[in-house]
Chains A and B, each alone.
Chain A
Amino acid sequence: MSHRLPAPARARLSYARLQQRFAPYVFVSPFFLLFLVFGLFPLLFSLFLAFHLWSPLDGLGNWKFVGFENFALALDRQDQFWTTLKNTVWIGLLAGVPQHLVALPLAFLIHQSLRRYQSTLSTVLFLPYITNAVAIAIVFATLYSERLGLLNYVRGLVGLDPVRWLGDPGMVPYSVAAVVFWRYLGWNVVLYLSGLQAISEDVYEAATVDGAGKWQQFWYITLPLLRPMMFYAFTLTIVGNMQLFEEPFMLLNDGGGSGGAGLTTAMHIFNTAFRDLDMGYASAMSWLLFLAIFALSMVNNVLFSRGGER
């Protein structure tokens, strides 16, 4: 660094110099400001609230410190939090596992054999993902309707009894999971397609020359090389399904349907915060949900990093 001659401070703080020095910070500031206001502040505020008893109607400042009471309340075996967590994981598995079991082979099929229609098929499959949730809710509520719905009508044609898709607590998780499956299948297909496109054609050519069939190519080439994309897609599914809110809320209203069988943790947190106005308890549950998602993501991470490149 060059040694500067002592000069009057006033001369140094010229406009040009100031601009040069601070302009970059001004230009990047919108992100940080927005992050502070809409990202960091709510995060810290909810952490603060998790240790307090507070109803928003009491106004800011009128909170009561309760220590770990909110967490203890949620972790009690009797609490609804556990039921909702169980619902969430169950619906998440019902929707998530078939999603990947179907999306991966489907993407492979499109990539290998239906390449001419690739863009059309991707668009069609991607449509549910960008469809308005309200429209989805109306369509599926009509399909699932017990006496007037298409599904039970078809069952009736082949002599089967009607099913109470959204009325029978045992049936509710399947009905919700089907909508989630339908909605995010296309998203996963598109993810896998982009992963497949990144795999060099040379590898497949070499395999074909060596006499490997389609199935062998899929098993020994595609799957291993797709690992990073699978890891990414699985992580997104885990995070998304653990935070499941929109679909069950639209189909079943805030109560989560018959007996609360479709009440997910995110819905329970929303109800606790905005219907029961117990913000502290809702914040504590949010942090517990965050920990659960973090733990599951870590499990996913470990499973994927075991024996193989990532």
Chain B
Amino acid sequence: MNKGLVSVLAAALLLGQAHAQEKVTLTVAVFPSLDSSIKAILPAWQKKYPNVTINMQAQQYADHHNAMTTALATGQGLPDVMAIEVGYVAKFAEGQGLEDLNKAPYSAAASKKLFTPFTIAQATSSDGRFIAMPTDIGPGTFFYRKDVLDKAGVNPVNMQRSWESYIAAGKTIKAKTGAYLVNTAASVYGIIIRTNLKSGEGIYFDKSNNLLVGPDNARFVRAFTLSKQIRDAGLDAKVGEWTNEWYDAFKKGTVATQFSGAWLQGALQNWMAPETKGLWRVQNLPERSFASWGGTFYGIPSKAKNKQWAWEFIKFMTLNQSSQIAAFEDNGAFPALVAAQKNKVFSDPVDFLGGQKARVLWRDAAAKTQPIDVNKYDSVADQIVQTELTNVLEKGKDIKQALSDARAQILRRAR
């Protein structure tokens, strides 16, 4: 036998063995309930890559992002794969600590087309780097209690037509059933400022970093005005999200409608109000507007030790249809992967929603959601505007005054 061929064969054999035996531990930093999605997929991963152990480090939402911020600042203690929630993805994109997935060896350009479009924009920095792959999204919908609306004789389609008709229906509901229209007036404000944005416009800033908040911005004036109308008419229960009162309102049907991401259905069914099964329905947001609530991404720190396996893991989680479906079935994480949305489970009726084929509606809403430009000062602006909204609702502050005060405060901070 040719000596050269033998040595090549031997080398190949050795290499193959070395590859098979090479034990890799991949550190994946996540937050709940993403850890649950990963656990659902782990068996399939272990079967395919038995030599790669996943070391999952799960911390609470805020703790996780604080830890990741510190790790990125110092370059120490970074995981191989970093989960990033939509609230942080813009800030992390502006930093320099994550790999640009547009570049080789990742070359994610081809994969980008496979996702719901607006998520790609969220994970792209202003200088065009693509820092994280989307895994789940939160299509925005309008949940309502069918029993309460029926009792009040209100047609849900009418509530969808315009915000004015939504409020008018709320008055009927309150008069006929005593139920409140919405948990808090501030949640209506929250949707109006997030919908009907022009191209190149973000919620608080436009593409060229100009601040949009102010007494002359129709979107903010309308959001404040309608919130105030709801509060003045006594239509909101003045109940914050994630409070005992909120869960109680769901259970007792004291609040007729709720705007939220599609994931709310899973939460209602699993723990918030399982006994209300069949009483809820969903429809699109008023005025044919579309918005997204939440979303999760995976990025690779530039200083990660196992970038190659990290990328394999991310692809497995995000580009693999069965992984995406497994996560969806486990905890309602709505797939960002368009192909996964075409799976037959999406046309199944949802028992909790009285057999409504709601997933089709959510899929449609996700496709129609426009990308929103994000800014690193969004969190600063958000807090300042929210405080001014409370001044309007609770202390009767003049709307124009509140908006111009908010504008002045944000301008000083956004340097």
Residues of chain A whose beta carbon lies under 8 Å from any beta carbon of chain B? 53, 55-60, 62, 69, 73, 76, 78-80, 141-142, 145-148, 164, 167-169, 254-255, 258-260, 271, 274-278, 281
Contact = CB atoms under 8 A, between A and B. Distances in A.
B386 to A, nearest CB: 7
Contact of B394 (A145, A169, A271): A169
A259 B387 contact: yes
Interface string B380-415: 100110110011001100000000010011001101
Across the A-B interface, the 4 shortest Cβ-Cβ residue pairs: A57-B95, A56-B73, A259-B390, A260-B387
Contact of A164 (B69, B238, B387, B409): B238
The residue in B70, B96, B240 that gathers the most chain A C-beta atoms within 10 A of its C-beta is B240
A255 B391 contact: no
A158 to B, nearest CB: 22
A104 to B, nearest CB: 37
Contact of A277 (B75, B91, B96): B91
B383 A57 contact: no
B248 A260 contact: no
A55 B96 contact: no
Interface string B79-117: 000000000000110111100000000000000000000
B394 A259 contact: yes
B62 interface: yes
Contact of A57 (B66, B94, B390, B395): B94
A56 B69 CA distance: 7
Interface residues of B, number: 39
A60 B73 contact: yes
B72 A148 contact: no
Interface in B349-397: 376-377, 379-380, 383-384, 386-387, 390-391, 394-395
A283 B314 CA distance: 37
Nearest to A149: B244
Interface of B: 62, 66, 69-70, 72-75, 91-92, 94-97, 238-240, 243-245, 248, 376-377, 379-380, 383-384, 386-387, 390-391, 394-395, 405, 408-409, 412-413, 415
Contact of A167 (B74, B238, B395): B238
A76 B412 contact: yes
B376 A55 contact: yes
A59 B97 CA distance: 7
A76 B413 CA distance: 11
Contact of A141 (B73, B244, B386): B244
A145 B246 CA distance: 11
A146 B391 contact: no
Given A78-B408, A259-B387, A59 B379 contact: no
Given A73-B412, A146-B245, A57 B97 contact: yes
Chain A at the B interface: mostly helix, strand, loop or mixed?
loop
The residue in A60, A259, A281 that gathers the most chain B C-beta atoms within 10 A of its C-beta is A259
Contacts of B245: 145-148
Given A57-B92, A58-B95, A59-B96, A73 B72 contact: no
A284 to B, nearest CB: 13
Contacts of B96: 57-59, 62
Chain B at the A interface: mostly helix, strand, loop or mixed?
helix
A258 B390 contact: yes
B69 A277 contact: yes
6 contacts: A56-B70, A78-B412, A148-B244, A168-B394, A259-B395, A276-B377
A129 B405 CA distance: 40
A255 B72 contact: no
A78 B410 CA distance: 10
Contacts of B391: 259
Given A59-B96, A80-B409, A260 B72 contact: no
B59 to A, nearest CB: 14
A258 B394 contact: yes
Nearest to B252: A147
A207 to B, nearest CB: 54
A57 B62 contact: no
Contact of B409 (A79, A141, A254): A79
Given A56-B70, A79-B412, A167 B97 contact: no
Given A57-B97, A146-B239, A169-B395, 4 more contacts: A55-B95, A57-B73, A62-B96, A259-B391
Contacts of A271: 383
Contacts of A281: 413
B85 to A, nearest CB: 12
Nearest to B94: A57
A62 B75 CA distance: 13
B94 A254 contact: no
A78 B238 contact: no
A80 B412 CA distance: 11
A195 to B, nearest CB: 40
A169 B243 CA distance: 17
A57 B74 CA distance: 9
A148 B383 contact: no
Contacts of A79: 409, 412
Contacts of A169: 390, 394-395
Contacts of A168: 394
Nearest to A254: B62
Nearest to A55: B95
B72 A59 contact: yes
B383 A260 contact: yes
The residue in B97, B377, B413 that gathers the most chain A C-beta atoms within 10 A of its C-beta is B413
